[in-house]
Amino acid sequence: MIAIRAAALAVAAALFPLHAAAAAEQVNVYTYRETKLVQPLFDAFTKDSGIAVNVISASSGLEQRIKAEGAGSPADVLLTVDIGRIDDAVAAGVSQPIKSEVIDEIVPPQYRDPNGHWAGISMRARVIYASKDRVKQQAITYEELADPKWKGKICIRSGQHIYNNALFAAYTARHGEEKAEQWLRGLKANLAQKPSGGDRETARDVAAGKCDLGIGNTYYWALMMNGDPDKKPWAEATRVILPTFEGGGTHVNLSGVLLAKHAPNKANALKLIEWLAGDKAQQIYADANYEYPIRPGVALNPTIAGYGRLTADPMPIAKIAAQRKTASTLVDKVGFDN
């Protein structure tokens, strides 16, 4: 463990080679977002504040890295892409409460940790990519995905993927473990093929006629339509339906922010966290990343607005996170990915 920690600190020192004298004018961010997606945010923050942002980006393992670095970790802020990553970071003990009246005022309570260890910065919804040609319904519930009328007509990525785990955990939190198991068995029976690929490939398979409904995140459809000419036909063959729970709203997930437990630049970290909830950053999230702003009143990207009005399910994200392990166990129990 000592060797791992020493190696982690050595790498961190190489990546963050600034002098201690400059520490008051920098903030170190570990992020699960691709650097190219968040760099516009950091550039704008630096322009507004004069504080330089040093970035480490990875697709996994950042909370373990911060833990291994220990009290000497250079990490000030951790940006996540899912409630699973948020939950893992808190469980690893690498965060501290964000004490900010700004965050408490802007971010709704259901999108903040009850103990203050994280806050949502932007939202995405788990929705349906429906075939324009073969699906005439304009509305659908998550519960309905287990209806036998959809037998052989649904495509989805692995049930253990963090995005589906969050949706299944939300279903479990709403309906209980027994009904969630029944629902997962019904959903599995309606699959057109073994869960595979990602959300883009789900849209591809709907476009190819392998299935009529695909389950994916809101921003992937927008990226296919606007950002990748090769994948635009997949979006053009489908339309987005915002599903809802019976008696509830559409399941949303969060991009979240945590304050590192041993943040060496804590004051600057808090400035960044509060800035990310401001109007300018929220508009960048909306337009550059095709996400729903967490801050009320910020304009949606036109493509996202075209899906229709989002009525987010009011279930607190912390309650969903508490059901992640149960949802994962149920996926294995019903053999969802087999």
Q: Do 271 and 193 share a structural domain?
A: no
Domain span at residue 320 reads: 124-250+312-333
Query: Does residue 338 lie within any of the structural domains?
Result: no
pLDDT of residue 237: 98
Which residue in this structure is represented by tokens 């473990």?
177
Q: What values do phi and psi take at 195, rounded to 5?
A: -55, 135
Does one domain contain both 205 and 327?
Answer: yes
Summarised one tens digit per residue, pLDDT across range 248-259 is: 999 999 999 999
Residues 95 and 133 in one domain: no
Read off the pLDDT of each residue in 119-125 and give the average, rounded to a whole number: 97
Instruction: State whether 264 and 294 are in the same domain.
Output: yes
Pick from 37, 42, 27, 92: which is nearest to 59 by CA? 37
- Are 106 and 194 part of one and the same domain? no
Given a contact cutoff of 8 angstroms between Cβ atoms, the answer to whether 111 and 294 are in contact is yes
Confirm whether residue 220 is marked as ligand binding.
yes
The total number of structural domains that make up the chain: 2
Taking only the tens place, the pLDDT of each residue in 153-201 is 999 999 999 999 999 999 999 999 999 999 999 999 999 999 999 999 9
- The whole-model pTM stands at 0.90
Same domain, 242 and 259: no
Task: Clarify whether residues 320 and 186 are in a common domain.
Answer: yes
At 294, is the secondary structure helix, strand, or coil? coil
pLDDT in tens, 127-156: 999 999 999 999 999 999 999 999 999 999
- The H helix count followed by the E strand count for the chain is 15, 10
Residues 293 and 325 in one domain: no
Is 219 within any annotated ligand binding site? yes
**Do both 98 and 159 map to the same domain?**
no
